[in-house]
């Protein structure tokens, strides 16, 4: 299934199989498949790459199945792979934890670093002298131009209705006491607010926030380590209830189950049942084949008996006559002639010779001699000599009122020494073999000669001057070439060294016969035109 012109691969010493032996990168196999089911499945794919891919997949599936059937489970490879997977997971989790720690440290440092953090910087801008908070408080709570002062001045000032009602002209009165108390409370509130955002005060809001954030970060790292340890334990073979241990136990159990199912030692295993069923099927198939062989032998004996009986009976001769008539009918149809079987129809004569003549061919209206008739007689009888055939074809011409006679011998019963194609006056004698299609050319050539003789006789009857030298030469050439076919066939069957020469001679002879037949057709066509012109 692979290219056998490729060199055999070299084995890399670093690549080893499960058993420790070095394994090649690829291997070339030249397989001959005899199993009918495998051949049936492979035949569903067109020959080429698709069939090879399917065969490789099937081969791999079968090898893996056999491997598991032998109970080969590489536990050490599974353990090594599990350790490698755990180590990779530990490294990944450690890297991820380090990245998370670095990222959190960076973010927290970016915000809470005392030197250059955003939060201390923001607090510094907020809490420093003349800072944003002081400016805000000053604008809102200042003594002179603050919003609060202006508001209170508008409502409680010297010109306010309240002061007027409270006798604002007295400096030691209610307004002065209230102003002093208010300024004191505002100062205390500002100090309290500043303490909540100062790192020097341990109970301040900012200090508590930083402390709680630090505790949360520590707990997060501890929880992450605990989870990593839990994951590692699940992939450890030392832990009995770990996921990997359970997986190994399940694999071992599955291996034992598969081994038991593919073992012939167990009576109820799948392989043992399959073996029993296959044995039963093979036994039934053997019995069926024996019965079929017996039936074939009986049928062949019956066919042989019928064939021998046919050879001995007259039915065989009738079959030969029918086959000759069938070939002549096809050739006559191609020439636009009319061929009529007459083997069972009485003719002009009465008595014993009334049914002589197996077929009558009447030349068509487009031929050079329309209406002229050729009588055909076919025989496959050992007792028929050449003289007997001459007498019978003469009776057939008279009985069927035909101008030309065509007598066909079977090669199995033809008289010894007779040529394959012989012309004697108005009669043509030839040898034809129903089992050899090459002899169809002899039969067709004899039919063409008979048509030419019909045209010649019609021309003579009309007393037209015609040059018969060409047609006589064509007839003689065809007869000589057809007779030479027997010699050529004998050479071809007995001389192996000259087979090419013989085949070339056969081809040349066939081409010559075809040329002469065409010449006959041209001559008969010219005589037809000559006859038509003389009639007009």
422 half-sphere exposure, CB direction, 13 A CA radius: 16
397 and 430 inside one domain: yes
Residue 406 placed within a domain: yes
Residue 31 placed within a domain: no
485 and 369 inside one domain: yes
- Provide the pLDDT for residue 404: 95
Residue 354 placed within a domain: yes
| pTM exceeds 0.95 for this model | no
- Provide the pLDDT for residue 429: 95
398 and 430 inside one domain: yes
Query: Domain boundary residue among 277, 296, 312?
Result: 312
Residue 71 placed within a domain: no
- How many separate domains does the chain show? 2
The alpha carbon torsion through 496, 502, 507, 510 (nearest 10 deg) reads -120
Residue 328 placed within a domain: yes
**β-pairing verdict for 338-341 and 359-362:** antiparallel
412 and 336 inside one domain: yes
d(CA 163, CA 170): 10
305 and 380 inside one domain: no
Handedness of CA 400, 404, 405, 408 (dihedral sign): negative
Using only C-alpha atoms, the chain has a radius of gyration, in whole angstroms, of 60
- Provide the pLDDT for residue 75: 66
373 and 337 inside one domain: yes
The residues of the chain scoring below 50 in pLDDT are 1-19, 313-317, 464-466
378 and 480 inside one domain: yes
- Provide the pLDDT for residue 489: 66
Residue 449 placed within a domain: yes
**Is the CB of residue 91 less than 8 Å from the CB of residue 279?**
no
d(CA 483, CA 419): 6
- Provide the pLDDT for residue 203: 80
| Three-class DSSP category at 362 | strand
- Provide the pLDDT for residue 213: 80
508 and 362 inside one domain: yes
Query: Domain boundary residue among 252, 285, 312?
Result: 312
356 and 468 inside one domain: yes
Residue 279 placed within a domain: yes
- Provide the pLDDT for residue 1: 41
Residue 125 placed within a domain: no
**Is the CB of residue 449 less than 8 Å from the CB of residue 430?**
no
Residue of 376, 379, 422, 383 lying closest to 399 (CA atoms): 376
d(CA 95, CA 234): 20
419 and 288 inside one domain: no
- Provide the pLDDT for residue 26: 77
362 and 487 inside one domain: yes
- Provide the pLDDT for residue 165: 59
The alpha carbon torsion through 58, 64, 68, 74 (nearest 10 deg) reads -170
- Provide the pLDDT for residue 394: 93
User: What are the residue ranges of helices labelled H in 335-464?
Assistant: 386-400, 440-461
| Three-class DSSP category at 338 | strand
**Helices and strands, number each (H, E), in the chain:** 16, 6
Query: Domain boundary residue among 277, 312, 347?
Result: 312
Residue of 482, 490, 475 lying closest to 509 (CA atoms): 482
Which two three-digit tokens encode residue 395?
């009776």
**Is the CB of residue 91 less than 8 Å from the CB of residue 84?**
no
Q: What's the domain range around 520? A: 320-535
326 and 428 inside one domain: yes
CA distances in angstroms from 391 to 11, 20, 216, listed in the order given = 89, 95, 133
């Amino acid at each position: 299934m692979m290219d056998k012109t490729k060199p055999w691969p070299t084995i890399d010493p670093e690549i080893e199989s499960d058993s420790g032996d070095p394994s090649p990168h690829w291997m070339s196999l030249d397989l001959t498949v005899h199993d009918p089911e495998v051949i049936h499945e492979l035949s569903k794919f067109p020959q080429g790459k698709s069939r090879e891919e399917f065969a490789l997949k099937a081969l791999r599936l079968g090898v893996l199945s056999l491997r598991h059937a032998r109970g080969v489970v590489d536990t050490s490879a599974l353990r090594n792979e599990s350790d490698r997977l755990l180590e990779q997971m530990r490294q990944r989790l450690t890297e991820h934890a380090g990245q998370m720690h670095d990222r959190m440290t960076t973010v927290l440092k970016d915000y809470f670093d005392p030197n250059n953090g955003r939060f201390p910087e923001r607090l510094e801008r907020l809490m420093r002298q003349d800072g944003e908070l002081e400016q805000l408080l000053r604008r809102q709570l200042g003594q002179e131009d603050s919003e609060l002062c202006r508001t209170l001045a508008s409502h409680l000032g010297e010109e306010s209705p309240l002061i007027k009602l409270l006798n604002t002209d007295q400096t030691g009165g209610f307004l002065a006491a209230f102003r002093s108390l208010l300024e004191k409370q505002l100062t205390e509130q500002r100090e309290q607010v500043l303490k909540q955002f100062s790192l020097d005060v341990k109970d301040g809001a900012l200090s508590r926030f930083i402390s709680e954030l630090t505790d949360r970060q520590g707990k997060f790292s501890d929880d992450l380590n605990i989870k990593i340890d839990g994951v590692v334990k699940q992939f450890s073979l030392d832990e009995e209830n770990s996921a990997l241990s359970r997986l190994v136990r399940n694999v071992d159990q599955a291996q034992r189950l598969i081994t038991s199912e593919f073992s012939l030692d167990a009576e109820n295993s799948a392989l043992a049942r399959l073996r029993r069923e296959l044995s039963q099927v093979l036994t039934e198939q053997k019995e069926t084949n024996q019965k079929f062989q017996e039936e074939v032998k009986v049928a062949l004996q019956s066919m042989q008996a019928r064939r021998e009986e046919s050879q001995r009976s007259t039915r065989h001769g009738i079959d030969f006559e029918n086959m000759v008539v069938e070939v002549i009918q096809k050739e006559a149809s191609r020439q636009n002639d009319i061929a009529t079987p007459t083997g069972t129809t009485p003719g002009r004569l009465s008595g014993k010779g009334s049914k002589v003549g197996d077929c009558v061919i009447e030349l068509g209206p487009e031929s050079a001699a329309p209406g002229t008739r050729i009588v055909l007689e076919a025989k496959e009888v050992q007792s028929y000599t050449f003289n007997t055939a001459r007498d019978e074809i003469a009776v057939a011409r008279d009985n069927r009122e035909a101008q030309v006679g065509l007598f066909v011998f079977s090669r199995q019963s033809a008289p010894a020494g007779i040529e394959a194609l012989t012309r004697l006056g108005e009669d043509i004698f030839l040898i034809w073999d129903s089992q050899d299609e090459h002899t169809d050319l002899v039969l067709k050539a004899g039919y063409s000669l008979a048509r030419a003789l019909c045209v010649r006789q019609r021309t003579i009857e009309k007393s037209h001057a015609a040059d018969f030298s060409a047609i006589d030469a064509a007839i003689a050439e065809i007869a000589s070439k057809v007779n030479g076919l027997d010699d050529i066939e004998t050479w071809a069957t007995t001389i192996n060294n000259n087979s090419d020469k013989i085949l070339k001679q056969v081809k040349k002879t066939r081409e010559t016969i075809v040329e002469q037949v065409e010449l006959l057709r041209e001559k008969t066509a010219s005589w037809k035109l000559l006859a038509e012109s003389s009639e007009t």
